[in-house]
Structure 1
């Protein structure tokens, strides 16, 4: 029976543990936190968007970094396989807008409980409050000869031998969940390259004072564009929200993956189309109707039907139209300025928030040195990597957890072979 050690009790680590144990391995999972799945617990605002029910083409297209590497593991354990796993283990799921899959209960704790129960049934031995200090490698003087894993060394100095070791420690995002980059240190000690790391799926800081005044305001069904001069770096339709520091929400988080490198170099212009369903001509016709119905009213009292309450003072300010002006006195030029503002509401992105607010980490252990079918290191026999510690990331919508499930499963199968 192969003794298998898994470092990290997150999505990838737990899934790998189940897959390996069900195939006859003696599996020990080491987690430095007091409980398993701390990051799963907070994903999807505590609801856990556990995968996406889209077709395989969209699943692949949603991966931002090293898409080809995931071909084998995605087809080896699909998004439908993930849904089936939870359903057959007694956790009902539901699919919402954008094919996002959640537990029917809306409780991420149910995902963790399901994985914990599956590990218990398959005989996985879980060691909580147990931090791994380093991985142990065979000391070989022969440069050409492939190194071999020997086991791990705990923080308390205890050395534990193993035939297989999986590093599934996550990245650097949400440090409070224990993501402190240990896996990158383990990888480098084994001779692996770790690519440049940065926060991803992360909110933006913005410059404008009026953005802060709209703190807490959610915009739905808008189009966000991020521009570098005249070049559009990102554009999509969906939801976003104003905060005390800038903007966040699904549109912004996904935009961060597209503009990350450029935004580290310079500020970028953002535009929000507040009425994407209407052309400028249609919007003009609507304004004229609103103005005709209240032609004796002041501008500030008519605009309320067009925009959310928190946004009205800002729209009045930026439009340049006097709030007390009667709408029947508003000129065509003023109306055109309001239309342009509605279709191109301006903001300036000054930078990204840090790892504490990033959903995932961009960068990681170079996949060029990993077998895509088994997740085994090409440099060290018996050493495996899975999940966010690898240089893999995707857009928001359940795709990053799918990477964790698929690579974790591939590693679990690989370690059992």
Structure 2
């Protein structure tokens, strides 16, 4: 039997170990934390967003970080395969808003426990609290791994699935990048992806906890429009977060790294044109004509958002509504349609949900996930320079890469 050593018991590593064992290999799975799947336990707010039911082209579109590279392995093990796999190990699934797939129990622990049980049933030897420090290479062939305490595990194939650099408390501390770099692989500089953003404006601190739905946020770099997102966002004590902010954060991190001046423009009423919003504001002004401006926008905005909006429009909050000129009203509409904030930095990579960057995909076979530089070395999961938006796409990518690496680590020998 082939002896396969898998490094890292996250979603990609566990799937790789399961697939290799299903193909008859003798598999050793090494995890440095006390238990497997620690990061999976916090995904989807503890519910574990396993995948998304979108068609494959849509899946790939939602993986901005080298999604096209995954075309082969996602088609070989797609979202239907993922659901079939989990249903088969007694984790029934359900589909929610946005096509997101969760376990019926809403418990990430059920997903992890079922995978660990499957590992045991297939005879995979799972060792926890074992930190791998080096991939052993002879000639141009991977022959095993070495641990921090000098222990060696020989192997006919090695699968590196150590994760990225985000949430280091779960074990993702960039170890795989160092190991890959040491044996000659190019590592694209890791940056935070799916991470909140810090803003320059002091007034955002007063908005901590204010959530906005159905807004459009446009990303600008050096006053040039880059992209936009529609959906929900949240103000925090340091800046902004929420689904659309997280989706914009990957590009934001790259732009900041390049030294660009980065701004976000928030359209608070994207469903209304300037003229339609003007008509709406006029109706409110008619309704509250004898009130002060700070009390006249309560039907339109959350209370705490009114002061910065009025400030942006250069309107004193205690001005009477019936004294507002047409020019001032139009300034107000422009702020409602384009509230500008300045991004100073992302939150630290340790707070990112996923990492952008990692082992360069140009040096990996996209069908098999085998290294193009070192035979019998495979990569899977976040250690690879692949990252996706929220919605189940990151776990789908991890499972697809893990399945490819697990299968081909066994099948390659059969082909020779």
Contact 1:234 1:259 in 2 (8 A): no
- Please tell me whether residue 366 in structure 1 is matched to residue 366 in structure 2: no
Contact 2:217 2:228 in 1 (8 A): yes
- Please tell me whether residue 98 in structure 1 is matched to residue 98 in structure 2: yes
Aligned twin of 2:130: 130
Contact 1:267 1:351 in 2 (8 A): no
Q: Which range is displaced more, 362-371 or 203-212?
A: 362-371
Aligned twin of 1:176: 169
Q: Deviations over 1:182-215 (max 9, x none)?
A: 1122212322222222222222111000111111
Q: Which range is displaced more, 407-416 or 253-262?
A: 253-262
Aligned twin of 1:61: 61
Aligned partner of 1:217 among 210, 223, 226: 210
CA distance in 1, matches of 2:285, 2:406: 65
Aligned partner of 1:347 among 337, 341, 351: 341
- Please tell me whether residue 287 in structure 1 is matched to residue 266 in structure 2: no
Aligned partner of 2:237 among 222, 244, 258: 244
Structure 2: gaps spanning 5 or more residues = 412-416
CA distance in 2, matches of 1:365, 1:326: 60
- Residues 149-164 of structure 1 aligned to structure 2 (within 5 Å): 149-164=142-157
Q: Which range is displaced more, 167-176 or 307-316?
A: 307-316
CA distance in 1, matches of 2:291, 2:17: 68
Deviation of 1:254 after TM superposition, in Å, equals 1.1
Aligned twin of 1:41: 41
Aligned partner of 2:379 among 376, 385, 389: 385
Contact 1:234 1:258 in 2 (8 A): no
Contact 2:166 2:351 in 1 (8 A): yes
SS in 2 for 1:157: coil
Deviation of 1:229 after TM superposition, in Å, equals 4.1
Question: TM-score normalized by structure 1?
Answer: 0.94
CA distance in 2, matches of 1:196, 1:317: 40
Question: How many residue pairs are counted as aligned between the two chains?
Answer: 410
Contact 2:222 2:260 in 1 (8 A): no
Q: Which range is displaced more, 59-68 or 211-220?
A: 59-68
| CA RMSD in angstroms, aligned pairs only | 1.6
Aligned partner of 1:413 among 399, 407, 414: 407
Contact 2:191 2:254 in 1 (8 A): no
Structure 1: gaps spanning 5 or more residues = 141-146
